[in-house]
Amino acid sequence: MKVTYPHMGNMAIGVKAMLEELGVEVVLPPPITKKTLTLGTKYGPEFACLPLKLNLGNFIEAYELGADTILMAGGTGPCRFGYYAYVEQEILKDLGINYDLLVLEPPERNIMEFIAKLKKITDNKPIFQVIRAVKKGFLKIKAADEIEKKVAFFRAREITKGATDRVWQEFLQNLNRAREEKEIEEAVNQAVVALARIPMDLARKVLKIGVVGEIFTLLEPFTNFNIERYLGNLGVEVQRTIYLSEWVNDHLFLGLFKNYSRHKEIVKEAPPFLCHFVGGHGQETVGGVKYLKKQGFDGVIQLLPFTCMPEIVAQAVLPAVSEVEDIPVLSLVVDEHTGEAGLITRLEAFCDLLSFRQKGGNHEKRRISGN
């Protein structure tokens, strides 16, 4: 069995570590490129969202490298992601690409359901080995999130452009190579020391922008044109409302690590604007705007793939949230036709507006929102 799975930000590092610990052979698709996108849009349904198309492209490229089994997460609720794995398998079959499919549905009661499913797909490895593998994978994605948050702070204040990104890339390589828990800790400590050595302008007044929206679009830099790095290079500190380790703790571990995730804290901010679950991360998106306002952020960007139903619901509500909470919100919809130049123009204009507000210009009675 040669297992592959789609890219989504730094997820590949943790999943690869977990599967290899269980003795499973992993065939990673190449990093997402325009070729991946072209393959996905050529064979995927036009009305499907961008994540499905990029998943398809990943699987076709991985098949060419010898993969024969797909590992995918499942899902519940109104979001179409819950049946993507099966739709993708059927599309691939029509192309003559026959994959075995393993879908990890979210557990309903406790983390042991998730462990049991993993045990089943790894030829009934001993339970302690499965737990050790899951822990190793989780520690890696947790470490990546930890350093990525620090990178956002340093990138906005660095004096030499690119210095923070070099540390970040070196850290990811070290993290990928780490085989033991101690080596993961060493990779984190080395990155923290390296970041602390970067010359910074701490007196610089930076903008703080929060990013909310659909998880794949938030986490995968190819999909969002590496928006966090672009804004960071403009001198903007960027934080997301969703980090992969928090999502894993909430949805796969069912909150095993107490006080680790901000999910409940964010969702409780959604009423009265949105009082119920609408699938995906729609409720988090709405609650996230108010949450970020309380955290002192200057503005919020919503990222969503075209035709994403939960985020369309959230998008309809956000102008009211922006008005009441007095915080500018910009919604950016992406698909295979999105041009980088147009997106950058909108980002720069948004930052100009936020700078204007931050400097105390003639804005007191104005609200800024954009779509």
Domain spanning 204-362, CATH architecture: 3-Layer(aba) Sandwich (3.40)
Give me the pLDDT at residue 362, please.
53
Of 1.10.1060, 3.40.1350, 1.10.3470, 3.40.50, which CATH number belongs to 2-125?
Answer: 3.40.50
> Do the first three CATH levels of 2-125 and 204-362 match, i.e. the same topology?
yes
d(CA 177, CA 174): 5
What confidence score (pLDDT) does residue 261 get? Answer: 82
- pLDDT tens-place string over residues 22-79: 999 999 999 999 999 999 999 999 999 999 999 999 999 999 999 999 999 887 777 8
Q: What is the pLDDT of residue 366?
A: 46
Write down the pLDDT at residue 367.
46
What pLDDT score does 252 carry? 82
Bridge-based pairing of strands 207-213 and 25-26 is unpaired
**How many Cβ atoms from other residues are within 10 Å of residue 122's Cβ?**
21
182 SS3 class? helix
Residues of the chain with pLDDT under 70: 120, 361-371
Domain boundaries, the chain: 2-125, 127-202, 204-362
The rounded distance, in Å, linking the Cα atoms of 56 and 43 is 8
Point out which residues pair with 238 in neighbouring strands: 209
